[in-house]
Structure 1
Amino acid sequence: MKKKNQELLNELNNFKKNTLINIMQIQFIFLSPKLDTLIAKMPITYKTLQPFGYHHGGATIILAESVGSSISFINIRNEKKNNLNVFSIEISANHVRSIKKGILFAKAKIFHKGNILHFVRVNIYDEKKNIISFCKLTNIIIIKNKDVNKN
């Protein structure tokens, strides 16, 4: 992995402090040279289980949205002097396999990168590379508002 990519991964992993990404123990582990694919991992813990002992689909959505929005963030961070934000405006998921323990991996890939919208595919799989869920995310790129509370 190129030094620049490792620096970007470090930035993402440092940026997550005091956020839901940190609470869920999501760690960014790979960034492709073209900056279009990002992989992260998340352990399945008692915090991510639903009452019947299986991994909760909502936790999977958190993983997918975290990785999917982060790949868009990486792709806009140098545009317009860091004056842009990324927000997910739509996410859909199909959960195709249940899981009770282990580590989940999320592989996010931008399949359309427009000036305003990014469409991202996120595949969630286990340590044996079995697909658990597949998700689609729509991110909107907007100019940062200096006063976010102003109506």
Structure 2
Amino acid sequence: MLEVGVNAAEFCLPNQDEEEICLRDIKGRWIVLYFYPKDNTPGCTTEACDFTAALPNFEDLNAIVLGVSPDSPQKHRNFIEKKELKVTLLADEDKSLCNAFGVWQLKKFMGKEYMGVVRSTFIIDPEGKVAAVWQKVRVKGHVDDVKAKLEELQG
């Protein structure tokens, strides 16, 4: 998993509207990049709704919030419409960004092992360096923790 102080992995991925979002185009702002396993599942829905509710606070901090999962742009669009989300969701169908950030890992559930996204969040500073990392995120209270850390980093 990428650590604080390293350069964030470069990326260009389609969002829910199939528009390409590239790190190079959004550098210069703070970026909250959160990885989640799957659209329309309970924890992922709560996290996306929490980030949506807090979006004005992040915008006040000159931060852009991007959610990333292996779901397709179409699935992201359906998720956004169904839950009235305001966050931008990136489709990492080949898992290249998940692998670059080290969040595509072996997971265990009910005795079965499988590869999947470990729920993780990264704050990327305006220079493109990783400024904060959360691994194996617990959804409850997470968005508040991220906002507080962003405020602290901006000092």
Global fold match (TM > 0.5): no
Structure with the bigger percentage of strand: 1
TM range (shorter): under 0.3
Q: Compare CA radii of gyration and give the structure with the larger one.
A: 1
* Structure-2-length-normalised TM-score: 0.26
Structure with the bigger percentage of helix: 2
